[in-house]
């Protein structure tokens, strides 16, 4: 059986503290709790040292021995002789942080072993595998947080990183994140950034899934799609229609000409090189999404995650829908920050927008919007007026805008309704329904000011 402990490493940590005192103890306490020591004697010594530090007393051999004597534990740890032995086994304290992390790692491994036994027993008792999986994910998140610690960063180091980011912005024309492939969107938000939760909302039929597909084709990094509504084959057909410029309706019916086949064969190789991964399970809960994403990040170096769509993601049973959505959005934001990747989540709008004259979406149209609005860094809504109007007065529809499109045919908007680090505004796009894709809108067609 594997022993997840090292007496020698624990001794070196304690010996280093006895050699160099409070400064070393402070560094160690950022990593270790007393419970992390496997040897009970070492826990007692470490607690005595902490007691001294809390009392603003020096941590050295003499005072540590006195504190243990006061607690009637000196003889239990082997007396002053054992403390002296700890110091003799630690010639220098320079490696104490490294050694402390080893002790922490062993501690986490022991806890995982214990939890695994408990989960196995509970599974035998209750038989609810989904409940056990949720509990396992929560416990593993706690382990991850305890291992990462709470290290602080000097402001000068933050400023150095900030300057590097500003230089990158200057070199790339303001796009420091992963490109969306849409020029005006990238100019407006600077691309998609690690740690951000981006909500892309819309009513049915306005192209939310198409936009998600476009992001993954355009981003240039390995990406992962959780498609809870559309099958992977349907998603694949949209990719082929887009890149191969094959009429989507004909493609779905198999009415493909020889020229179409040639283009399809060519783009299949191109799509394979994009490193896009798809999960099309319709009943995924947030804990499985977290687990799959963490594994994909480790194995494939995923740089973008897209979830289609938020309201279909499950959480704990027995909660109201508003609580479920709040839980999902919080988990997704934490996932983005933990893995330092952008998470784009498609979201349904309620019917409220359709009661307005122009049908344009607003932030309040988000279903169960409170938690989503709070957790998201960017909330945007897709809007295609041709879904509502056939013969419309352009002047009335775009009242208040200094410029407007000549026609609403193929006209779409990416409306930024909330931005933590970007301003709100309207960005025009072209929707090419024949090929199931969005494209940049040329200045000849539209010049809506942002």
Quick one: 187 and 114 in the same domain?
A: no
Report yes or no on 100 lying in a domain. yes
Instruction: Please count the other Cβ atoms lying within 10 Å of the Cβ belonging to residue 444.
Output: 7
User: CA-to-CA distance for 315 and 396, rounded, in angstroms?
Assistant: 44
Element containing residue 354 per DSSP (H, E): none
Instruction: Tell me, yes or no, whether 93 and 190 share the same domain.
Output: no
**8-state DSSP, 73:** -
Dist CA 346 CA 449 (whole Å): 26
Q: 251 lies in a domain?
A: yes
Same domain as 222, residue 96: no
Average pLDDT, the chain: 79
Tokens matching residue 250: 């004909």
Comparing 282-291, 361-370, 437-446, the range with the smallest average pLDDT is 437-446
Predicted confidence (pLDDT) at residue 317 exceeds the cutoff of 60? no
CA distance 147 to 72: 33
Alpha-carbon distance 116 to 280, whole Å?
Answer: 29
Counting Cα atoms < 13 Å in the Cβ hemisphere of 403 gives 12
Count of positions (residues) in the chain: 450
What is the count of structural domains for the chain?
A: 2
Catalytic residue among 73, 229, 323, 386: 229
Mean pLDDT in residue range 52-56: 86
Residues 180 and 307 grouped into a single domain: yes
409 vs 43, higher pLDDT? 43
| Residue 176: pLDDT over 70 | yes
Residue 449 has pLDDT above 50, yes or no: no
Residue 343 has what pLDDT?
A: 92
For residues 77 and 217, membership in a common domain is answered with: no
Contact criterion met (CB below 8 Å) for 107 and 38: yes
262 catalytic per annotation: no
Is residue 368 within 8 Å of 322, Cβ to Cβ? yes
* pLDDT score recorded for residue 332: 86
* Separation CA 435–CA 178 (nearest Å): 24
* CATH number of domain containing 90: 1.10.860.10
Which of 120, 152, 184 terminates a domain? The answer is 152
Question: In this structure, are 314 and 260 located in the same domain?
Answer: yes
3-state helix, strand, coil in the chain (%, to 5): 55, 15, 35
Whether 159 is covered by a domain: the verdict is no
| Measured distance CA(96)–CA(254) in Å, rounded | 67
Inter-CA distances, 134 with 29, 294, 372, Å: 30, 15, 22
- pLDDT tens for 211-223 read 888 888 888 888 8
Q: Give the model's pLDDT for residue 91.
A: 62
With respect to residue 316, please indicate whether it lies within any of the assigned structural domains: yes
219 in a structural domain: yes
What does the pLDDT read at residue 450?
31
**67 and 180 share one domain:** no
Helix (H, G, I), strand (E, B) or coil at 143: helix
**96 located within any domain:** yes
Task: Identify the domain boundary among 85, 120, 152.
Answer: 152
What does the pLDDT look like over 353-372, one tens digit per residue? 777 877 788 888 776 656 77
* 145 and 99 in a common domain: yes
Classify residue 158 by burial, with Cβ atoms within 10 Å: 0-12, 13-18, 19+. exposed
Considering the chain, what percentage of its residues have pLDDT values greater than 70?
Answer: 81
Tell me: do 186 and 278 sit in the same domain: yes
How confident is the model over 69-92, as a mean pLDDT?
A: 86
The domain in which residue 377 lies consists of 171-440
DSSP β-ladder status, 411-419 and 378-383: antiparallel
Residue 117 in domain:
yes
Domain finish residue from 152, 185, 206: 152
Same domain for 297 and 436?
yes
Say what the pTM is.
0.62
Do residue 116 and residue 222 come from a single domain? no
pLDDT of 117 strictly over 60: yes
pLDDT at 179 over 90: no
Residue 420 sits in a domain of what CATH number?
A: 3.40.50.300
User: What is the spatial distance between Cα 347 and Cα 206, in angstroms, rounded to a whole number?
Assistant: 12
Tokens of 262: 């040639």
pLDDT of 109 higher than 50: yes
Residues 141 and 274 in one domain: no
φ, ψ at 428 (rounded to 5°): -80, 145
Virtual CA dihedral for 100, 106, 110, 111, nearest 10 degrees? 50
């Amino acid at each position: 059986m594997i022993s997840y402990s090292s007496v020698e490493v624990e001794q070196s940590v304690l010996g280093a503290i006895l050699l160099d005192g409070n400064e070393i103890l402070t560094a160690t306490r950022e990593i270790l709790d007393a419970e992390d020591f496997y040897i009970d004697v070492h826990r007692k010594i470490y607690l005595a040292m902490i007691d001294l530090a809390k009392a603003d007393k020096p941590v050295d051999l003499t005072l540590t021995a006195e504190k243990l004597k006061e607690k009637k534990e000196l003889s239990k740890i082997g007396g002053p002789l054992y403390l002296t032995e700890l110091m003799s086994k630690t010639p220098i304290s320079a490696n104490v942080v490294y050694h402390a992390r080893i002790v922490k790692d062993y501690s986490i491994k022991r806890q995982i072993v214990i939890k695994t036994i408990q989960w196995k027993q509970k599974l035998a008792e209750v038989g609810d595998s989904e409940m056990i999986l949720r509990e396992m994910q929560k416990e593993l998140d706690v382990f991850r947080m305890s291992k990462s610690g709470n290290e602080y960063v000097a402001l000068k180091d933050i400023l150095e990183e900030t300057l590097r980011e500003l230089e990158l912005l200057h070199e790339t024309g303001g796009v420091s994140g992963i490109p969306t492939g849409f020029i005006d969107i990238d100019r407006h938000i600077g691309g998609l950034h690690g740690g951000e939760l981006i909500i892309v909302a819309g009513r049915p039929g306005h192209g939310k899934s198409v936009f998600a597909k476009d992001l993954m084709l355009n981003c240039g990094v390995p990406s992962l799609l959780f498609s809870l509504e559309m099958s992977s084959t349907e998603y694949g057909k949209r990719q082929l229609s887009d890149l191969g410029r094959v009429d989507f309706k004909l493609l779905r019916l198999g009415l493909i000409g020889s020229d179409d086949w040639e283009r399809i064969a060519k783009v299949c190789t191109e799509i394979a090189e994009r490193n896009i991964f798809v999960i099309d399970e319709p009943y995924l809960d947030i804990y499985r999404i977290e687990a799959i994403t963490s594994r994909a990040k480790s194995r494939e170096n995923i740089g973008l995650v897209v979830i289609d769509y938020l309201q279909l993601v499950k959480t704990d049973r027995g909660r109201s829908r508003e609580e479920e959505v709040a839980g999902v959005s919080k988990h997704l934001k934490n996932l983005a920050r933990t893995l330092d990747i952008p998470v784009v989540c498609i979201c349904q709008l309620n019917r409220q927008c359709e009661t307005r004259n122009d049908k344009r979406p607003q932030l309040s149209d988000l279903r169960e919007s409170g938690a989503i609005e709070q957790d998201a860094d960017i909330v945007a809504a897709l809007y295609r007026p041709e879904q509502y109007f056939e013969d419309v007065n352009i002047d009335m529809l775009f009242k208040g805008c200094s410029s407007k499109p000549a026609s609403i045919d193929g006209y779409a908007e990416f409306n930024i309704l909330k931005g933590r680090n970007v301003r709100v505004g309207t960005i025009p796009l072209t929707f090419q329904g024949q090929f199931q894709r969005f494209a940049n809108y040329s200045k000849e067609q539209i010049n809506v000011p942002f």
